[in-house]
Structure 1
Amino acid sequence: MLKPNNSWKWYFDQQHNSLMLHLGNDMVFRTAIPAKFLITCAMQENTFTVEDATAFETFKSSIEHLDLPKPRKAELALNAVAAGRFHKPMMPKSWFFQTQSHGYEPELGEIVTLATETGQSRFIVIENSGSASLCMMAEQEPLSLSSTKEMNYCDTIKVMNDRIPPFVEELHQGLALVG
């Protein structure tokens, strides 16, 4: 996977109407965040800071166990860093997701599940503001939110924390029955 360094630079590409990250060696990463969701400072050149590198490592270690190809994990981690730094504040859209019976306080980088009436998907927590969390979809298959709306890989949504249960990874162990 990628190793952050001090030559990485964030910039806004007018031609592609996208936030980009120049990774050096003629490599450029295009973020998945629509331009309308970016804060004003994202339109200028910004250095990839120590805080960005720390967030990248946090997200990278959180998604290590997900069943995704390495390039998709790098994409998810970089998009998560970009969202954490440059995403505009948004209002929660919790009505798409099922209410949970207990309160939960997810942590930065934690993998959680969000369930709709038609399915569920894993998300990575980008930010927890106390009562709500900004989450990024970490599944490659789309998630239907309603009959007319769906979420795709690396899309973000803010939801109230009462809709977020922790993700429980099922461990498949080879057990032998003896006796």
Structure 2
Amino acid sequence: MQNWQWRLLDSQNLAIDLDKKLTQELMFKRSFLRDRLPDQVSFSMDDAAAFQNFSDYLDSYSALSANEQFKIALHATALVRFGKLMLPQSWYFKFGSFGDERAWPKDHLFCSLNSGTSQADFLIIEQDERCSLCMLVDETFEVGGFKTMQRFEVTRVLNDRLQESQRHPILRDTSFTSQQWA
């Protein structure tokens, strides 16, 4: 990772040079990235830490191939470093069972979103107390019958739209059950 370089290709897509002869083109066009992006910049220590965190999480909770996990971790890291701020687009998605009274577990990066016509798994890239930036990890996702998202596309949603993903199920608190009182 010490020699990796982010750069913009002539196609205006972001890419990362992994060594002198190996470049991985990412799905993000310049228009999707922050303004005043340099044409080339080194992969930083913060990038390495984010990449390792995403890689470790995917290794633990994903049945995807190592190559797919690698690409997802690279795209997620690029979003952390270069992604433009987005406003929430929650109106496209059904409510989940999380919100003000029940917070999303911070150690769960896989979530599911339901548009009413389909449901798909996403990776939470960034999260605060109100919103989550989510990247699609499934191949496609139909949003409201008029748009189809492709893998690596992102959306920001209010946390009350997050739903449990079967890739990393959320354990239920069973400390108090009705049988204990019988």
Query: Which TM-score bucket, shorter chain as reference?
Result: 0.7 to 0.9
Give the paired residue count: 165
Matched with 1:85 is 81
Secondary structure, in 3 states, of the residue corresponding to 1:92? coil
Contact 1:108-1:126 within 8 A present in 2 as well: no
Any idea what the Cα deviations from partners look like across 1:106-144, whole Å, max 9, x if unmatched? 53771111112122111111111321111101112x111
Specify whether residues 108 and 157 from structure 1 end up closer, same or farther in structure 2 by C-alpha distance, changes over 3 A only: farther
Gaps of 5+ in 2: 170-182
Structure-1 separation of matches of 2:148 and 2:30: 19
TM-score by length of 2: 0.83
Shift of 1:56: 0.7
Note if 1:94 corresponds to 2:87: no
Q: Over aligned residue pairs, what C-alpha RMSD do you find?
A: 1.9
**TM-score between both structures, scaled by the size of structure 1:** 0.84
Point out where structure 1 has 5 or more consecutive residues left out of the alignment.
172-179
Moved over 6 A (4+): none
Greater Cα shift, 36-45 or 48-57: 36-45
Give the counterpart of 2:143 among 137, 142, 145: 145
Report the equivalent of 1:34. 29
- Superposed CA offset, 1:17-63 (max 9, x none): 11111111411111112221101243332111111111111111222
Tell me the SS of whatever aligns to 1:33: strand
Cα separation, 1, equivalents of 2:105 and 2:38: 30
Q: 1:109 to 1:101 in 2, by over 3 A?
A: closer
Instruction: Give the Cα separation in 1 of the matches to 2:85 and 2:12.
Output: 20
* Percent identity of equivalent pairs: 27
